[in-house]
A = this chain, B = another copy of it.
Amino acid sequence: MQKRLFEFDTATALEPLDVVDGVHHFATRVHPGWDILGNANGGYLMALVGRAVSMATGRPDCVTITAHYLAPCPAGDARITVTPVRAGRRFATTTASLFLSDANGGEKEIIRVLATVGDLATDPGGPSAMQRTMPEIAPFDECLLMSDTSVNDFAHIHGRLATRGQSEDIAFRSGSPSGRATMRGWFAFPDGRPINSTALLLASDAFPPAVFNLSLPAAWVPTVELTVHVRAIPAPGPVACFFDTRFVQNGLLEEDGEMWDANGVLVAQSRQLALAPRG
């Protein structure tokens, strides 16, 4: 039986190079098509590094991962380093970096990551006490396929995904922002790839910024920092996503995300700090 190669796995393929002084080196490629106006999406870059962290530690799930974005990232050859910090029974902590190769044989650091990884499937469990339920999100079939929309003209990443947006939240594209800094929809892959914890890192940044629904300039919203907590491994099927921004202040904003699987289980939370769009 041949293993099916999904597009996201190809785009995050890693070649382990060597381990020098405990630091794991991987060769990789920042693939074209996962970008907004030529610069790789922040969630895609986090997934690429998160996958390297999992390979280096042998632990599949980034339970909490933070990336600081240092420079825009066009497609190209890259190197990822993963440096162990501490390895315990339940969790291991690492730092990691992605370096993009330049035309002169040099390289530039694109993101710096701090991650604590584990294996959610073998977690010891413990108390649960959910204080909120899943936010109201329109059913999958009532949401609009983002790849069918004009967003692809600049947000090329939508062409790689089968992500759907709730109509009122993506009406900003036709000049009708909802006035509410909320972005709801469903994350999925067009080739049916299962959504594992690495794909949740991508999902956390795969929708248009919630602030596009406010009366702010529709310009780039560069991420300064993104943290994702993976809370559970998703059940099969698309993942319901809810993003909102509460505070745009002095040119900075946060965007909070919740991701829920088909069984109504919270699978991830995210928060990013970003620069507010400027005209």
Contacts and interface: CB of A to CB of B under 8 A. Distances in A.
A215 to B, nearest CB: 8
A93 interface: yes
Contacts of A225: 64, 66, 116, 227, 229
B112 A93 contact: yes
Given A114-B114, A231-B247, A127 B85 contact: no
A127 B64 contact: no
Contacts of A11: none
Given A95-B112, A109-B86, A112-B114, A250 B68 contact: no
B127 A277 contact: yes
A209 to B, nearest CB: 12
Interface in A197-238: 211, 214-217, 224-225, 227, 229, 231-232
A252 B63 CA distance: 10
A86 to B, nearest CB: 5
Contacts of A93: 68, 70, 112
Contact of A251 (B126, B131, B266, B277): B126
Contacts of A224: 63-64, 91, 116
A227 B95 contact: no
Nearest to A251: B126
Interface in A170-212: 180-181, 211
Interface string A121-157: 0011111111110000000000000000000000000
Given A126-B251, A132-B246, A271 B227 contact: yes
Interface string A66-82: 10101100000000000
A37 interface: no
Given A85-B112, A86-B109, A114-B114, A227 B130 contact: no
Given A91-B224, A227-B271, A130 B64 contact: no
Nearest to A86: B70
A278 B123 CA distance: 14
Interface of A: 63-64, 66, 68, 70-71, 85-86, 91, 93, 95, 109, 112-114, 116, 120, 123-132, 180-181, 211, 214-217, 224-225, 227, 229, 231-232, 244-252, 254, 265-266, 269, 271, 273, 275-278
23 contacts: A63-B224, A63-B252, A64-B224, A64-B273, A70-B86, A70-B93, A95-B112, A95-B114, A114-B114, A116-B224, A123-B251, A124-B251, A125-B251, A126-B251, A126-B275, A127-B216, A127-B277, A129-B211, A131-B181, A131-B246, A227-B227, A227-B271, A229-B273
